[in-house]
Chain A
């Protein structure tokens, strides 16, 4: 189930919280953790019961590898087996058909595609478990004494529902000690209130902003060849905002949920669009994936220890893997490659300049650099969203050749939310020329403000103090989001 669903908010979460805290209060530590695991399985199995079996098998396999690893014999072989098992599972469910398609294209064969259903979040829990095994391996060979993780802790580490299907990708160091403290800590109203606040901000980003921005984006990608130049630019821009609000909103919700259980989940986004270089962008965007790739790919490949050329090759490889991790398609591969090239070029330039990589430059230069970085991110995100490379090319060609014109109705009509109808009517704006576009412009302006000028959710939560106005604001935000979860289908476009 999704966080932004009635069943989650009205049934799952209240039940889960109530049972968890009753058990914890009664001092039943193990039962409280098993309760959380049970609910996490329900959460995951609700999408599709067969997904649950796959996750259970994955957890069982990895736990077995972990226990064998603990014996300290032939550790490298055991680790390799574990990583291969995980990658094999991921390959089968996520990349097998992609692989076959390419074999067919390359060798003109007709190997039948398997159309395997991709279990949700498999990339996240697979990487998380690979990270667990490599951490254990690394720490063991460094001579650190391993405190054995029991099967309950391990299952909870992998399946804890707030971070299960869309991350952040957590590591054992930050999570296991917290799970261990369950049953021996006191309840904090402050943490709980901050969790409620952060979850609300995340839900607002996801439900009110991202889902609204998705309408013109979907329209644009369904009608690529009919877009004019302005439409195409707006579709690109809206998607860049949509992706950020969607993903970071979901992560905020995850982190807020963690707080409701007294668990701190790491930050995954830190105002990434304010970055003044691509290098900085990747320190602020999907932080936990980059941390994983640095620890488990970049450093084992030699990192920067084997000379500059090797470092750049390593970086490119990391970005290629990152692209492929995001999806089985050439558009993702090219997206990863483009990001890698941009990253490497920026690093080269920074090294040549000898400047401190992230040192704040002059204000005007910083604004220019931020705008340039935002532009590059926008362009590269077209590859990320486009179903195929051909579609990405089509969108770019519409930008270049579609001509400057007023946006098409399909682009701005998605912003006509019913709650604003009254505002428009009362202010008499509907009688003014171009009134259909006002909400679109307002949304765009708000998105720019939220991304570039407003405090991010993390900062707002950290500075949160209870006040009457934010009590009312939070209640309104929750109410607005919950009332927006279900719409009335109108099927206006079904006949076209």
Chain B
């Protein structure tokens, strides 16, 4: 046989063997969970929300999901099982926009149909006035669609093989704990008023206040496109939607930017719209003074300690902090009064204030 021909056959045979091996390895371990649920023995590294959440949504076993931004990252999903008997899968996207929530809900409901008992969802009210098509990060089509052909990007991908299959095998100490996926790296010491103040820079003071209705049109669009269709399409699912407790410094910025009326109008509008659905329970922690006014609960202006997450989970179960038709007006006024009347200057009086964390040690 012609030696060039033999050489070519050799090259292609080696390549074919290599590709079959690579694809078989990726399909077997499936570190992005595209084809099957995780192997019981493999030390999976789950650290990439954009790339791993789709597979988790498709192939994990769960009754409920926890969705939202980094406001959900410190939750332990075991609490939902202990309190409410719901096996819950965390599918957080740091910095997520409403479209990110919609994208992952598409995958959740496509995979589980009407078997999703509950959706726990943190809504970052500010993101609801963004463009309804905006996502925090570009999504990876080969993980979000059902086209088997573009799976080549997953099957023949050295970073998948090396970083998510061989590396965890070589160094299993990085193995992720399924109950606390995506937990932030901050240890307890970071949750202190001093740390928060050290990195906090107030926004400049604006002269003109924003009109109260400024955000409403955009919020309406986002609700109509990215949230309400799912509430309507899944009456069998109970949605626990909550406004997370941002620290009082968030409200300092809102008042300095002269947006208090516009922001509280945005929150009221969202809460009222969501309350229209029988399968939705809305919770607000924005006005919980014990949490928001104690900066020892925070690592920065918004990110709260897991003890607070535990409290929020307890509220889902016992109904505390729920917004109802009866109390919504009063709660919104209380929030506005808190934000407008707080003595922000006094915050800097004592950087090392020793107030214990809310719900300390329960998380």
User: Which residues of A (435-468) have their CB < 8 Å from a CB of B?
Assistant: 466-468
In this complex, how many residues of chain B approach chain A with their Cβ under 8 Å: the count is 38
Q: Does A189 contact B (CB under 8 A)?
A: yes
**How far is the CB of A101 from the nearest CB of chain B, in Å?**
28
Name A473's closest neighbour in chain B (CB-CB): B11
User: Which B residues are in CB contact (< 8 Å) with A472?
Assistant: 14
**How far is the CB of A274 from the nearest CB of chain B, in Å?**
30
User: Main secondary structure on chain A at its contact with chain B?
Assistant: helix
Q: Does B237 contact A (CB under 8 A)?
A: no
Give 7 pairs: A residue, B residue, CB < 8 Å, sorted on A: A10-B152, A471-B10, A475-B18, A486-B142, A486-B153, A489-B51, A491-B137
User: Which B residues are in CB contact (< 8 Å) with A309?
Assistant: none
Q: Mark A188-218, 1 if CB is under 8 A from B, else 0.
A: 0110110010000000000000000000000
Asked if A483 and B161 make an inter-chain contact with CB atoms under 8 angstroms apart, the answer reads: yes
User: Which residues of B (238-296) have their CB < 8 Å from a CB of A?
Assistant: none
A interface, size bucket? 35 or more
Q: Mark A483-495, 1 if CB is under 8 A from B, else 0.
A: 1111111110011
Q: Does B159 contact A (CB under 8 A)?
A: yes
Q: Given known contacts A6-B153, A418-B163, A489-B138, what 15 new A-B pairs fall within 8 Å (CB)? A: A193-B5, A418-B159, A418-B162, A421-B167, A466-B3, A466-B6, A475-B10, A475-B11, A479-B18, A480-B158, A483-B157, A483-B158, A485-B156, A487-B159, A489-B137
Measured between alpha carbons, how far is A196 from B12 in the docked complex, in Å? 10
Interface residues, chain B, with chain A CB atoms under 8 Å away:
2-8, 10-11, 14-15, 18-19, 22, 48, 50-51, 95, 136-138, 140, 142, 152-154, 156-164, 166-167, 170
Q: Does A350 contact B (CB under 8 A)?
A: no
* Contact A196-B164, Cβ < 8 Å, known A190-B4, A486-B156: no
Asked if B2 and A189 make an inter-chain contact with CB atoms under 8 angstroms apart, the answer reads: yes
Q: Mark A136-179, 1 if CB is under 8 A from B, else 0.
A: 00000000000000000000000000000000000000000000
The contact of B15 among A467, A478, A485, by CB within 8 Å, is A478
**How far is the CB of B47 from the nearest CB of chain A, in Å?**
9
Asked if A488 and B170 make an inter-chain contact with CB atoms under 8 angstroms apart, the answer reads: no
| Pairs of residues from A and B, 9 with the lowest C-beta to C-beta distance, nearest first | A466-B7, A475-B14, A418-B162, A483-B158, A486-B153, A189-B4, A193-B4, A488-B159, A471-B10
Asked if B48 and A488 make an inter-chain contact with CB atoms under 8 angstroms apart, the answer reads: yes
Name A200's closest neighbour in chain B (CB-CB): B11
User: Which residues of A (389-430) have their CB < 8 Å from a CB of B?
Assistant: 418-419, 421-422, 425
User: Which B residues are in CB contact (< 8 Å) with A328?
Assistant: none
**How far is the CB of A339 from the nearest CB of chain B, in Å?**
38
Q: How many A-B residue pairs have CB under 8 A?
A: 94
Name A482's closest neighbour in chain B (CB-CB): B156
Measured between alpha carbons, how far is A485 from B10 in the docked complex, in Å? 23
* Contact A491-B50, Cβ < 8 Å, known A471-B7, A479-B19: yes
Measured between alpha carbons, how far is A422 from B158 in the docked complex, in Å? 13
User: Which B residues are in CB contact (< 8 Å) with A495?
Assistant: 95
Q: Does A474 contact B (CB under 8 A)?
A: yes
* Contact A422-B170, Cβ < 8 Å, known A6-B153, A474-B11: yes
Measured between alpha carbons, how far is A494 from B154 in the docked complex, in Å? 23
**How far is the CB of A316 from the nearest CB of chain B, in Å?**
45
User: Which A residues are in CB contact (< 8 Å) with B153?
Assistant: 6, 485-486
Measured between alpha carbons, how far is A51 from B220 in the docked complex, in Å? 39
Measured between alpha carbons, how far is A488 from B142 in the docked complex, in Å? 11
Asked if A193 and B7 make an inter-chain contact with CB atoms under 8 angstroms apart, the answer reads: yes
Measured between alpha carbons, how far is A490 from B138 in the docked complex, in Å? 11
Measured between alpha carbons, how far is A471 from B13 in the docked complex, in Å? 10
Measured between alpha carbons, how far is A466 from B2 in the docked complex, in Å? 10
Measured between alpha carbons, how far is A489 from B18 in the docked complex, in Å? 24
User: Which A residues are in CB contact (< 8 Å) with B158?
Assistant: 418-419, 480, 483-484
The contact of A418 among B6, B48, B138, B167, by CB within 8 Å, is B167
The contact of B50 among A466, A485, A489, by CB within 8 Å, is A489
Measured between alpha carbons, how far is A472 from B15 in the docked complex, in Å? 9
The contact of B8 among A10, A196, A482, by CB within 8 Å, is A196
Measured between alpha carbons, how far is A193 from B163 in the docked complex, in Å? 34
Name A488's closest neighbour in chain B (CB-CB): B159
User: Which A residues are in CB contact (< 8 Å) with B5?
Assistant: 189, 193
Name A486's closest neighbour in chain B (CB-CB): B153
Name A195's closest neighbour in chain B (CB-CB): B8
Measured between alpha carbons, how far is A419 from B163 in the docked complex, in Å? 9
Name B2's closest neighbour in chain A (CB-CB): A189
User: Which A residues are in CB contact (< 8 Å) with B7?
Assistant: 193, 466-467, 470-471
User: Which residues of A (16-42) have their CB < 8 Å from a CB of B?
Assistant: none
Asked if A487 and B2 make an inter-chain contact with CB atoms under 8 angstroms apart, the answer reads: no
User: Which residues of A (80-115) have their CB < 8 Å from a CB of B?
Assistant: none
User: Which A residues are in CB contact (< 8 Å) with B10?
Assistant: 468, 471, 475
**How far is the CB of B170 from the nearest CB of chain A, in Å?**
7
Measured between alpha carbons, how far is A421 from B4 in the docked complex, in Å? 36
Q: Which of A425, A471, A480, A486 has the most CB of B within 10 A?
A: A486
Measured between alpha carbons, how far is A488 from B18 in the docked complex, in Å? 20
User: Which B residues are in CB contact (< 8 Å) with A479?
Assistant: 14-15, 18-19, 22
User: Which A residues are in CB contact (< 8 Å) with B157?
Assistant: 483, 485-488
Measured between alpha carbons, how far is A475 from B9 in the docked complex, in Å? 11
Name B136's closest neighbour in chain A (CB-CB): A494
**How far is the CB of B59 from the nearest CB of chain A, in Å?**
18
User: Which A residues are in CB contact (< 8 Å) with B161?
Assistant: 483
**How far is the CB of B287 from the nearest CB of chain A, in Å?**
28
**How far is the CB of A417 from the nearest CB of chain B, in Å?**
8
User: Which A residues are in CB contact (< 8 Å) with B8?
Assistant: 189, 192-193, 196
* Contact A6-B11, Cβ < 8 Å, known A189-B4, A466-B3, A494-B137: no
User: Which A residues are in CB contact (< 8 Å) with B18?
Assistant: 475, 479
**How far is the CB of A326 from the nearest CB of chain B, in Å?**
29
User: Which A residues are in CB contact (< 8 Å) with B163?
Assistant: 418, 488
Name A420's closest neighbour in chain B (CB-CB): B162
User: Which B residues are in CB contact (< 8 Å) with A471?
Assistant: 7, 10-11, 14
Asked if B159 and A196 make an inter-chain contact with CB atoms under 8 angstroms apart, the answer reads: no
User: Which A residues are in CB contact (< 8 Å) with B15?
Assistant: 475, 478-479
**How far is the CB of B249 from the nearest CB of chain A, in Å?**
19
User: Which B residues are in CB contact (< 8 Å) with A489?
Assistant: 50-51, 137-138, 140
**How far is the CB of A154 from the nearest CB of chain B, in Å?**
33
Measured between alpha carbons, how far is A189 from B51 in the docked complex, in Å? 43
**How far is the CB of A138 from the nearest CB of chain B, in Å?**
40
User: Which A residues are in CB contact (< 8 Å) with B138?
Assistant: 489
**How far is the CB of B152 from the nearest CB of chain A, in Å?**
5
User: Which B residues are in CB contact (< 8 Å) with A491?
Assistant: 50, 137
User: Which B residues are in CB contact (< 8 Å) with A418?
Assistant: 158-159, 162-163, 167
User: Which A residues are in CB contact (< 8 Å) with B11?
Assistant: 196, 471, 474-475, 478
Measured between alpha carbons, how far is A490 from B50 in the docked complex, in Å? 8
Name A188's closest neighbour in chain B (CB-CB): B4
Asked if B156 and A483 make an inter-chain contact with CB atoms under 8 angstroms apart, the answer reads: yes
Asked if A490 and B48 make an inter-chain contact with CB atoms under 8 angstroms apart, the answer reads: yes
Measured between alpha carbons, how far is A304 from B216 in the docked complex, in Å? 72
**How far is the CB of B164 from the nearest CB of chain A, in Å?**
7
